[in-house]
């Protein structure tokens, strides 16, 4: 009798141990962190995912980003963009996703009065932003390049999935493609069963779910004036955080004047206004990317006006006078880093809000 009792006890102990081991293993697996780093779209990218069995879903997401790059890049010889830019007025048949992204870009163009403009490419080329051979063009050169731009030159035939560019126009998806790639990467991860991930495509950040322990992701916002430092932190889940700013790419001419890579389509000059950077927080990264570029072009006053009218997103504006403006939805989610705590965040409310 005695040893039977022991056996029962042992069985119970073994069962308990294996139950605990099973739980712990599962737990450990759901916490397991995998990361891939790579270079694409002219920038360093990182994909981090939790709870995957290995790196396979992350590599699938990386391949998807590279596929998006091959499709939309203006410099890749065989990209649809290169073919479209070389096609002349008859245009070409484009993949459905190409038509969809063009439509999304044009939607932001329309809503922002042309601040976001895919056809700005000839002007970017003139300033040397495509080759690194920078120059400040004269007024005639600028006028001629500007004459090639204008979103009305993009003609879509949705039924036949064709796009044509009129008047020697050329397009460049540089202001929206990274955002789209981030959305695609999260989609691939989701399909592979991942529910907790963060992708950072050179400052274009997109998050899937929360961290594995249920807490929010922290996304640091760079200080545009001291770019090796961060000035604030955003806490988010299931959101993209996309920043545009002149500090990201610029050149300084022989007179010491700074010219950045974001062009104001209204005059063909690199943007010079009261903004240092714009951060957009939005569910979808594609729109966030187009909006961050467009709001940077608009300047703080018009950006705030735009948000008040169309504000289904959150926004942070850093201004040249040291100001930090954030939309009300970020009140509990955005805070300044310790060494910036002397500054004040001005929270703006949309009309009609309490």
Residue nearest to Mg ion (CB): 293
By CB under 5 A, residue 175 contacts Mg ion: yes
CA 347 distance to own-chain centroid: 23
By CB under 6 A, residue 116 contacts ligand AMP: yes
User: What residues from 67 to 96 belong to the interface with ligand AMP (CB under 6 A)?
Assistant: none
Cα–Cα distance, 62 to 59 (Å, whole number): 5
- SS3 (DSSP) at 213: coil
Half-sphere exposure of 139 (CA within 13 A, CB side): 0
By CB under 6 A, residue 117 contacts ligand AMP: yes
- Least spacing, CB of residue 288 vs Mg ion, in Å: 8
Q: Among residues 21 and 227, whose Cβ is nearest to Mg ion?
A: 227
Burial grade of 2 (CB within 10 A; 0-12, 13-18, 19 or more): exposed
- Among residues 228, 183, 178, the alpha carbon closest in space to that of 204 is found at 178
Q: Among residues 194 and 242, whose Cβ is nearest to ligand AMP?
A: 242
CA angle in degrees (0–180, nearest 5) for 312-304-322 = 125
99 CB contacts (<8 Å, ≥6 apart)? 156, 158, 161, 163
User: What residues from 86 to 145 belong to the interface with Mg ion (CB under 5 A)?
Assistant: none
By CB under 6 A, residue 124 contacts ligand AMP: yes
90 CB contacts (<8 Å, ≥6 apart)? 164
Which one of ligand AMP, Mg ion, none is in contact with 73 (Cβ closer than 5 to 8 A by kind)?
none
Only segment of 64-72, 139-147, 291-299, 333-341 that touches ligand AMP (CB under 6 A)? 291-299
- Which two three-digit tokens encode residue 20? 């605990």
By CB under 6 A, residue 293 contacts ligand AMP: yes
User: What residues from 254 to 283 belong to the interface with ligand AMP (CB under 6 A)?
Assistant: 261-263, 265
- Which two three-digit tokens encode residue 322? 């040291």
CA angle in degrees (0–180, nearest 5) for 335-180-261 = 70
Per-residue contact string for residues 168-207; x = within reach of ligand AMP by CB under 6 A? ----x-xx--------------------------------
- Least spacing, CB of residue 137 vs ligand AMP, in Å: 15
Per-residue contact string for residues 312-331; x = within reach of Mg ion by CB under 5 A? --------------------
Catalog residues that contact ligand AMP under the rule CB under 6 A: 116-117, 120, 124, 172, 174-175, 244, 248, 261-263, 265, 289, 292-293, 297
Catalog residues that contact Mg ion under the rule CB under 5 A: 175, 289, 292-293
């Amino acid at each position: 009798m005695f040893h039977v009792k022991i056996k029962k006890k042992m069985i119970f102990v073994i069962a308990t141990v294996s139950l605990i081991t099973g739980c712990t293993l599962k737990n450990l697996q759901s916490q397991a962190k995998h990361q891939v780093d790579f270079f694409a779209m002219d920038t360093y990218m990182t994909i981090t995912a939790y709870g995957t069995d290995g790196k396979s879903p992350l590599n699938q997401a990386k391949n998807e980003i590279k596929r998006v790059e091959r499709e939309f890049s203006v410099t890749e010889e065989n990209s649809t963009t290169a073919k479209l830019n070389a096609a002349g007025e008859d245009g070409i048949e484009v993949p459905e996703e190409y038509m969809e992204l063009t439509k999304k870009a044009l939607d932001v163009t329309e809503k922002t009065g042309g601040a976001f403009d895919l056809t700005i490419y000839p002007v970017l080329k003139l300033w040397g932003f495509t080759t690194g051979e920078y120059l400040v063009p004269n007024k005639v050169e600028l006028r001629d390049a500007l004459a090639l731009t204008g979103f009305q030159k993009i003609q879509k035939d949705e039924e036949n999935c064709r796009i044509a560019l009129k008047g020697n126009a050329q397009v460049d998806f540089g202001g929206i493609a990274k955002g789209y790639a981030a959305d695609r990467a999260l989609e691939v991860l989701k399909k592979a069963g991942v529910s907790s991930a963060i992708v950072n495509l050179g400052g274009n950040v997109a998050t899937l779910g929360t961290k594995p322990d249920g807490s929010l992701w922290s996304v640091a916002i760079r200080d545009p004036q001291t770019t090796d430092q961060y000035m604030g932190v955003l806490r988010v889940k299931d959101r993209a955080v996309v920043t545009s700013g002149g500090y990201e790419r610029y050149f300084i001419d022989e007179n010491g004047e700074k010219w950045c890579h974001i062009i104001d389509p209204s005059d063909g000059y690199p943007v010079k206004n009261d903004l240092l950077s714009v951060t957009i927080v939005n569910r979808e990264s594609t729109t966030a990317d187009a909006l961050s570029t467009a709001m940077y072009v608009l300047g703080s006053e018009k950006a705030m006006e735009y948000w008040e009218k169309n504000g289904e997103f959150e926004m942070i504006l850093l201004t040249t006078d040291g100001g930090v403006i954030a939309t009300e939805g970020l009140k509990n989610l955005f805070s300044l880093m310790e060494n910036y705590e002397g500054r004040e965040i001005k929270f703006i409310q949309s009309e009609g809000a309490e």
